[in-house]
Structure formats: C-alpha cells, structure tokens
Amino acid sequence: MKNVILFLCLSIHILCSSQTEVQQKSLAEAALELTKQEVTYDPSYFSIDYPNGDVPVDKGVCTDVVIRAYRKTGIDLQQLVHEDMKAHFHQYPNHWGLTTTDKNIDHRRVPNLMTFFSRKGAEQAITQNPNDYLPGDVVAWSLGGGLTHIGIVVNKKSRDGKRNLIVHNIGNGQVLEDCLFTYKIIGHYRYR
C-alpha cells in the first residue's frame, strides 16, 4: 500500500512539474511574440476597461510586457492584482500616497507586481548563476534612484550562450536583450 501511495504522489509531482514547465515556456513564447509588435514607451496614466483592460496596443512600459505576456496565456494580472490589493491593501507598497486601489494603474507598477508575486509564493532565489533564471521567469531590477524595472526571461541565449535573454521595455519598445545582470536584481519570480 505504501508503494502505491508513493507511486501516486511521485506521478502527481512529475505531472505538475511538467505542466509548470510547459506553462513557463508558453509565457516565454508569448513574451517573444510581443517583440514583433511596435510599441512606444509611454508611462502615461490611462483609463482602461476592467477586467482584461490594456493601454493602447502601440504604447506601454516594462510592466505592460509582463501583463501582456501573461494575458496571452490566459492570466489577467490586472484583475488578479486588483482583487489581491483590495483584500490586502496594507501589504502593498504605498509609494504613491493612495488610500484605495486603482484598477487602471495598480498592476502597471513594478513594486505592486513584485508584492503580488511574492504573496502568491512565486518568489525564487536571487543569484548570480544564469542557469537559475529559466524561460518564463519574471525578473525585477533596481535601476537606482528609486527606479525599478521588470522583464521576462525567454528561451533564447546570449551570444556567448551563457544566459537566457530578456524581453522588456526600458524605453525602446518591447525588445529582446541580453540584460539579465546589467542591473541589480531585486526580484525573481516563477508565477503560474
């Protein structure tokens, strides 16, 4: 009986691990698709639909890369972050002096995405080992001076073959770059 239970537990673990790996690759592929879309960096505040709202398709910032990639895999971070913030507002950063949630912008702020991913148990170790950053992982950086940035690891390699590349928008649109260790990493997440 113990062997049967052990076999079932092992089978479920393998199935879940394999499913998570497929989902992560799907997220990485969705991020790569975004690089084909011309986008101008635009940090403006937009009133957007809820749920599944998005800023104009030709505009965006770094968080919009993450939001759009997840949306392509069926996950609406706008709704998920909004609902979690409504229920746990005091656990989210208050850099903006808000007293309530704002479904138009909350999910478009790096510190809020970091908090959401952490609250959902998606946090991974921050290391200097490029092999720890898998396709579909979300990475957040400090740019200094209180500025933060976020992007998605994809299954394309750097020229030297040592690092996975990143899809992000730091001012030049949704692009693919070798920038994993260019800035100080302050968050590493694997959310599904």
The set of residues, in sequence order, having a beta carbon less than 8 Å from that of 142 and lying 6+ positions away, is: 148, 149, 183, 184, 186
**Surface-to-core class of residue 53, CB atoms within 10 Å of its CB (0-12 exposed, 13-18 middle, 19+ buried):** middle
The predicted-structure confidence for 36-81, as pLDDT tens digits, reads as follows 999 999 999 999 999 999 999 999 999 999 999 999 999 999 999 9
Question: Sheet harboring 138-144: ordered strands across?
Answer: 175-177, 164-168, 147-157, 138-144, 184-189
Q: How confident is the model at residue 16 (pLDDT cuts 50, 70, 90)?
A: very low
Residue 95: pLDDT band (50, 70, 90) is confident
Mean pLDDT to the nearest integer, 78-102: 95
pLDDT (tens digit per residue) in 143-174: 999 999 999 999 999 999 999 999 999 999 99
User: How far is it, in rounded angstroms, from Cα 106 to Cα 100?
Assistant: 10
